[in-house]
Homo-oligomer: A and B are copies of this chain.
Amino acid sequence: MRTGIATVCLSGTLKEKMQACAIAGFDGIEIFEQDLVTSALSPEAVRAMAADLGLGLDLYQPFRDFDSVPEELLKENLRRAGAKFELMSRLGMDTILVCSNVATAEIDDDGLRAEQLTRLAHLAGEHGVKVAYEALAWGKYVNDYEHAHRLVEMVDHPNLGTCLDSFHILSRDWDTAPIEKINAEKIFFVQVADAPKLSMDVLSWSRHYRVFPGEGQLELAKFMGHVVRAGYAGPVSLEVFNDVFRQSDVERTAVDAMRSLIWLEEQSAKWLDANDPGAAGASGTSASGRRRYPMELATLPKVAEPAGFNFAEVKADDTAGLEKLLGQLGFEFEGRHRTKDVQLWTMGHARVIINEQAPSHAEPAIAALGFDVDNPVIASARAQQLKAPVVPRKVQADEEVFQGIAAPDSTEIFLCQGSPDGTAAWTHEFGDGLATPSGTGAVIDHVNLAQPWQHFDEAVLFYTSALALEPAPFAEVPSPTGLVRSQVMQTTDRAVRLVLNLAPLIQQGAHAGYQEHIAFAVDDLVGLARDARDRGLEFLQIPANYYEDLAARFSLDPGFLATLKELNLLYDRDASGEFLHFYTATVGSVFFEMVERRGGYDGYGAPNAPVRHAVQYDHARRATDPRNATTKYATERSRP
């Protein structure tokens, strides 16, 4: 598959964009006109630079508001087109995108449109230019790709073809199956963009909220499957207008973009396999048994979803606070690593590594997560082909070699050898007899990571593509400093649950915004909470008002409610089960949560999240703002 990207997807100057595209490994680019117009580089310099970088200049775009106009304006439009065709010759480019008219269309007549497009095609032919005609979703008269292609067929000129854009097609819910009926020679270009499903006018949706494939909810693999089956083999190019990507680091966004196309290529092949099983055609079949199409689809190393968390690692300069919390929760200190300054703590199957090798004064933070996978080397190869940065890890002879990659928020992700009995071979480096879990059936239930606002969509694609997690519908949780956007990524069997939190902008950079946590599931939360209390654990203090509201919302047994209140436990219920949980106080940017899932409860206690945020905020304010240190109005806390 020939990969491409429109320069409008990225931040920076044209030169910076081109360099970033080359570094990310794109085959070609679309030059968005405004990027050229505002550039100090001459067309000849752009051409030379693209050649040096090994980047094809695959599409010049957009040429707007051409068709369906009165004759006088058409002449003006042809003059305008001629100027652009000459510019393209200086750039060494041969394909231009012409989109259906929005602003100046006046005459709704396919005969006239075909005649006007014929004149454009003729002019293009004189300049050796191919015109790719695209139906904008909000085109005044032409807003459907089948309509646009009927016009192309009416004109029947070698210099006029169709441009298919996944957003313009899928945002309008047009059927994509008829794409297969289009003569491949007439498909001059294919653009892809994903988007979250939003109920808003399609123009605003398109201009602000497009995302890279895999970061939204459009059926792109199916769209691509039809394109491949049509016999198209040209560029598949990203055209994504996104308010965040436009202001993010250009090289990083280009890598995110490239990852999305690699992932889309794999998903498209999967769709074809599932929808065309064993249908060996005239052109033969590929190694996978898939029918051969003109477009070659590269494959990635295949991985199953992870079987569970292998470990979680927290890191700090001063680890005393973390050790105290884990000890009070009932974790056992299993020993120190034989060569490194790291400790191993366990509770049942839950393993926590406390890493003391942090820079001076570094506050406690979540540094790494280990996941159980079938084959760490294959999983790592896949992640690296998906452009995940590799994390170097020094090991001594005889020590476990971890395959590590860096997530978009810099959390280190280690791909570990899982085992059916939940053992971990590497634990012998901390001492004998630790490989087999003992004690309770505790496991890591979920991990909640705070994401920088520039890298939220990137993180969703990273965990989807490299780790085979599935995004759940996102939620928004009110906090005293704004709405927190919360995106669950999980496995089908829920053995891995990861929650990506996007804190309000005002908190980005402030320590309060970067609170992250690890949640452990146990069988008897009430018993554990009592033991932890006896060991002096500092619970997050839940307001008495919460329990009154709980009583109003649910008919709970008064004794049970009293227990919840006594132990600062939170409660939720849905149709399939119940959820009990509590939080510890925060050290640095880390706190812990203990949960008990009863029945088939599948959530995270979302109705309780505002309480958690409010109490943590209040706690942080009291600690830093002297005005809040004392108060005339007695605060009623549930803890005796």
Contact = CB atoms under 8 A, between A and B. Distances in A.
A34 interface: yes
B483 A243 contact: yes
Contacts of A204: 198-200
A360 B84 CA distance: 51
A320 interface: no
Interface in A415-465: 453-454
A395 to B, nearest CB: 35
Interface secondary structure of A, over-half rule = helix
Given A43-B545, A543-B39, A611-B38, A481 B552 contact: no
A545 to B, nearest CB: 5
A492 interface: no
Contacts of A41: 545, 633, 635-636
B636 A45 contact: yes
Contacts of A621: 13, 16
A478 to B, nearest CB: 6
Contact of A13 (B48, B87, B617): B617
Contact of A40 (B8, B12, B198, B543): B543
Contact of A633 (B12, B15, B615): B15
A40 B36 CA distance: 58
B481 A42 contact: no
A619 to B, nearest CB: 10
Nearest to A503: B247
Contact of A39 (B37, B201, B208, B614): B614
A171 interface: no
A84 to B, nearest CB: 6
Contacts of A506: 11, 247-248, 454
Given A83-B551, A482-B11, A615 B200 contact: no
Given A248-B506, A480-B11, A549 B611 contact: no
Contacts of A553: 80
Interface in A605-636: 610-611, 613-615, 617-618, 621, 631, 633-636
A546 interface: yes
13 contacts: A8-B478, A12-B481, A37-B611, A38-B480, A38-B613, A42-B634, A79-B555, A199-B204, A243-B483, A246-B483, A246-B504, A247-B482, A454-B506
Given A15-B633, A243-B504, 15 more contacts: A12-B617, A34-B478, A37-B546, A37-B610, A38-B543, A38-B611, A38-B613, A38-B614, A42-B634, A45-B633, A80-B553, A83-B552, A199-B201, A199-B204, A208-B483
Q: Which 4 A-B pairs have the closest CB atoms?
A: A247-B482, A38-B614, A200-B200, A199-B201
